[in-house]
Amino acid sequence: MTTTAPDLAARFRTDGFAFPVDALTRAEAEQALAECQTYLRAVSAVGGALARYAAFPKIHLVASWADRIVHHPAILDAVESLLGPDLLVWSTNLFIRPAHSGSSLAWHQDAVYLGLDGYQQHAARVWVALTDTTVANGTMRYARGSHLRGALPHRFGGSGLEDIMRGEEIAVDIDEAAAVDVLLDAGQCSVHHLAMAHASGPNQTDTGRFNFAIDYITPRVSPTAGEDSALLVRGTDTGAFLPERRPESNFDQAALNEFYSAVTRRQKRIDQTVQKRNAGKGPDTPRDPS
């Protein structure tokens, strides 16, 4: 078990988050970062649909470094202490804030557009630091306890927000003074509830910030509509989700086929969820890359 496991569940339940959780060693994080950067160059060269989905939403199906992280024993032990023995990976994402990037994300909740039933008790997002995360490089910020308020009202924020938010931001005030900065060393991770309100700021440093996010669910979660798939990483039950397969190597053909099928299936379903949410609320929001 990880060193933080004894109080991880209590902190997650009360605050909606817990960190730092010791996960990868610094050497493992450095190796993963190097492989991640190689991966991004490779998909950029390939172009097309693969490049379009390079940073999301199921990197672990085509990249060995990502597959290795989602199966990391320290991470799975921590998540099992929260969710139980049967664990699936529903999604993986890269969150990159380039050096001297003025980009930022307003306060938002991921759960409002994911289209998952049962996430309140049976899901968690792990945010793995492949580089150190600091206030200066625009780390994530949590609104402590906001998960207890459920799905908060959101408003369309316009083109100034990054695509990850689908242009949505929370339409209620967040107490900035009470916000908690997620400070992690490379290799550590944080874990948070999918209804946790969070935001991030600009990167004012000379180096990029790289974080790898993993959405873990249990078989008690189900899609709100349509088919979806997930990768079983611990235990025996996939529940309502179609099973996915691990890559044999980077971009092997079977893995690519699995990837394209999975992201197309998921994007179609999430688009339906967002269109339903936005009915009568103005123009369509951008596509979700999470």
208-255 per-position pLDDT tens digit: 999 999 999 999 999 988 889 999 999 999 999 999 999 999 988 999
Lowest mean pLDDT segment, chosen from 164-168, 241-245, 281-285: 281-285
- 32 to each of 140, 171, 176, 187, 211, how far by Cα in Å? 20, 37, 33, 9, 11
In the chain, the number of structural domains is 1
Interatomic CA distance for residues 268 and 250, integer angstroms: 25
At 266 the pLDDT is 81
Asked if the structure places residue 286 within a domain, the reply is: no
Mean pLDDT, residues 60-80 taken together: 96
Asked if the structure places residue 285 within a domain, the reply is: no
Beta-carbon contacts of 191 under 8 Å, excluding residues fewer than 6 positions away, are 8, 12, 17, 18, 19, 21, 78, 79, 82, 124, 125, 126, 127
What are the pLDDT digits (tens) for 134-153? 999 999 999 998 888 766 65
At 242 the pLDDT is 95
Asked if 126 and 191 touch (Cβ cutoff 8 Å), the reply is: yes
Asked if the structure places residue 248 within a domain, the reply is: yes
Phi/psi-derived region of residue 167, left when phi > 0, alpha when psi is between -120 and 50, beta in every other case: left
- Which residue in 13, 211, 182 sits closest to 98, CA to CA? 211
Beta-carbon contacts of 252 under 8 Å, excluding residues fewer than 6 positions away, are none
- Provide the pLDDT confidence category of residue 269 given band limits of 50, 70 and 90: confident
At 153 the pLDDT is 55
Interatomic CA distance for residues 256 and 93, integer angstroms: 17
Interatomic CA distance for residues 105 and 169, integer angstroms: 9
Mean pLDDT, residues 122-132 taken together: 97
Interatomic CA distance for residues 62 and 284, integer angstroms: 30
At 165 the pLDDT is 43
Checking if the pLDDT of 169 tops 70, the result is no
What are the pLDDT digits (tens) for 97-113? 999 998 888 788 888 77
The beta-strand segments (E) located in the chain are 17-22, 87-97, 105-108, 116-117, 123-129, 140-142, 154-156, 168-170, 180-181, 188-192, 198-200, 209-217, 222-223, 229-234, 242-243
- Provide the pLDDT confidence category of residue 275 given band limits of 50, 70 and 90: low
Checking if the pLDDT of 157 tops 60, the result is no
Mean pLDDT, residues 59-74 taken together: 96
Beta-carbon contacts of 271 under 8 Å, excluding residues fewer than 6 positions away, are 287
Asked if the structure places residue 1 within a domain, the reply is: no
Asked if 199 and 110 touch (Cβ cutoff 8 Å), the reply is: no
Asked if the structure places residue 228 within a domain, the reply is: yes
Interatomic CA distance for residues 8 and 81, integer angstroms: 8
> What's the chain's average pLDDT?
84
What letter would DSSP give residue 184? B
At 156 the pLDDT is 55
- Provide the pLDDT confidence category of residue 177 given band limits of 50, 70 and 90: confident
Asked if the structure places residue 2 within a domain, the reply is: no
- Provide the pLDDT confidence category of residue 265 given band limits of 50, 70 and 90: confident
Asked if the structure places residue 28 within a domain, the reply is: yes
First to last CA, the chain: 28
pTM recorded for the entire structure: 0.87
Interatomic CA distance for residues 113 and 290, integer angstroms: 10
Query: Residue 265 sits in a domain of what CATH number?
Result: 2.60.120.620
Q: Which domain covers residue 15, as residue numbers?
A: 7-278
Tokens 């209804």 label which residue? 195
